[in-house]
Amino acid sequence: RHALRRRVAYDPLDPNGNITIKWDVLSWTPDGYVATVTINNFQTYRQIMAPGWTVGWTWAKREVIWSMVGAQATEQGDCSKFKANLPHSCKRTPAVVDLLPGVPYNQQIANCCRGGVVSAYGQDPSGAVSSFQVSVGQAGTTNRTVKVPKNFTLLGPGPGYTCGPAKVVPSTVFLTADHRRKTQALMTWNVTCTYSQHLASKYPTCCVSFSSFYNDTIVPCAKCACGCEHKTCARSEPDSKRLMSASGKSSAHAVTAVRGHVNRQSAAPLLQCTTHMCPVRVHWHVKLNYHDYWRAKVTVTNFNYRTNYTGWTLVAQHPNLDNITEVFSFDYKPVVSYGSINDTALFYGMKFFNDQLMEAGPYGNVQSEVLMRKDASTFTFRQGWAFPRKIYFNGDECRMPPPDSYPYLPNSAPASLVSSASVVVAFLVLLMA
């Protein structure tokens, strides 16, 4: 079963990507311990967006949470057996969320309080971590008597992550601020969580369309690329406001009621009515051809009236991305997953310029052009070579158009058109004979 999950969660463009939850026991208390919990996102291009992460687990015995700094349990549970000081949470299966920005300083620790938002490691390593501190009671008070929690879960913010069992590892070593002394945790255990797009959603969440300067054909996203059933859509911006106003009260009530646990995620998307019914479309246009270079334009469009994509990421795989000369309006990093193979690029918005993809409407798009140097031994416009092999948006693979629909050069045609033309010519010859 675990082997099947690992295969489903495997991402060939980020084979080592995962989220690691590390528990460091820093001190013992009369009935338990104080631990710092650190969530490290080691995924190259998949972040955790608002409303942020939710971490859950099952206690091995009858532990309680006395207090927390930098996070909070969503439910206190039944603490009726405690007469004086009440624990922060008595739930056997607590769910913990990050605090929001702006909380008092005495409730903060380092890397906390960003509303559960965690950047992708390849985009912003300093923002790819989140931490909180927890004081655990009715637990063991030595390395031998502590029982690690089990059945860890991670929502980021929705489903898709599968977490393995907690494993005790060598204690974390800390360096003091002056770099002259090392200290170490009394005990450390790690939990590794991996992401599967198949577990997260039945359908893709984005699609890809193509066009080129050498052909008037625009290849659209496939029909119902992201599924069409049971989806509410708006035909215009005024229509979207009417639908959101009508559903606002019931949606807010539903989110509040379930915010504590599994369904703590964004409200259901309200999409602009399209044939593909995808929240996001990525359009790749082969724009210009020079003697030694060629240029492609990439446009990302948001069709979701309810969601802004802050800190978005876009990953493209193409053999000529190993020779990028300039990216004009996005930031860019190569993604080298396998030794010297450098055919994948990570694009993301420039800070305070276009790092937020706004909701559907006139401002709901970001775009850039990419200038690439040609390799004479491989470059061609034939057979769709100039179009990407894969596209990912926010870590999810997008639905590509079928290969036989790609724009073709004017002096070439698909086999189906050639064969049809041959039949017509033969028919005319027969009539003239």
Amino acid at 27: S
Cβ neighbours of 113 (radius 10 Å): 23
Q: What is the pLDDT of residue 88?
A: 98
Report the C-alpha gap between 395 and 401 in whole angstroms: 19
Report the C-alpha gap between 290 and 324 in whole angstroms: 14
305 and 359 Cβ atoms separated by less than 8 Å: yes
Q: What is the pLDDT of residue 8?
A: 55
Please give the chain's pLDDT, 433 residues, in tens: 444 444 456 788 999 999 999 999 999 999 999 999 999 999 999 999 999 999 999 999 999 999 999 999 999 999 999 998 999 999 999 999 999 999 999 999 999 999 999 999 999 999 999 999 999 999 999 999 999 999 999 999 999 999 999 999 999 999 998 999 999 999 999 999 999 999 999 999 999 999 999 999 999 999 999 998 867 788 877 777 766 665 554 443 333 333 333 344 456 789 999 999 999 999 999 999 999 999 999 999 999 999 999 999 999 999 999 999 999 999 999 998 787 788 999 999 999 899 999 999 999 999 999 999 999 999 999 989 999 999 999 999 999 999 889 998 887 555 444 344 443 443 343 344 4
Segment 178-184 long-range contacts (CB within 8 Å, at least 24 positions apart): none
Q: What is the pLDDT of residue 409?
A: 86
3-state SS assignment for residue 432 = helix
- Tell me the CA distances in angstroms from 395 to 284, 356, 419, 423, one per residue in order: 18, 16, 41, 47
Domains of the chain: 19-199 (2.60.40.290), 201-246+270-405 (2.60.40.290)
Tokens, residue 170 = 């060598």
Q: What is the pLDDT of residue 425?
A: 40
Q: What is the pLDDT of residue 433?
A: 42
With CA atoms as reference, report the closest residue to 204 among 224, 177, 176, 188.
Answer: 224
E strands, 112-234, are 129-137, 150-155, 161-163, 167-169, 173-175, 182-184, 187-195, 206-212, 215-219, 233-234
Q: What is the pLDDT of residue 415?
A: 42
Segment 157-160 long-range contacts (CB within 8 Å, at least 24 positions apart): 157/48, 157/49, 157/50, 157/51, 157/52, 157/53, 157/54, 157/116, 157/264, 157/265, 157/266, 158/200, 158/265, 158/266, 159/199, 159/200, 159/262, 160/195, 160/196, 160/197, 160/199, 160/200, 160/201
Which residues make Cβ contacts (< 8 Å) with residue 304, sequence separation at least 6? 269, 270, 271, 272, 279, 280, 359, 360
- Tell me the CA distances in angstroms from 399 to 45, 86, 312, one per residue in order: 18, 51, 18
Which residues make Cβ contacts (< 8 Å) with residue 93, sequence separation at least 6? 56, 57, 58, 59, 151
Report the C-alpha gap between 28 and 187 in whole angstroms: 10
3-state secondary structure string, 12-39? CCCCCCCEEEEEEEEEEECCEEEEEEEE
39 and 114 Cβ atoms separated by less than 8 Å: no
Which residues make Cβ contacts (< 8 Å) with residue 129, sequence separation at least 6? 38, 39, 40, 41, 111, 118
Backbone angles phi, psi at 25, to 5 degrees: -75, 120
Q: Which helix (H) or strand (E) holds 397?
A: strand 396-397
Q: What is the pLDDT of residue 337?
A: 76
Strands 233-234 and 271-272: parallel
Q: What is the pLDDT of residue 258?
A: 34
Beta bridge partners of residue 277, listed in sequence order: none
Tokens, residue 127 = 């923002």
Q: What is the pLDDT of residue 418?
A: 39
Q: What is the pLDDT of residue 245?
A: 66
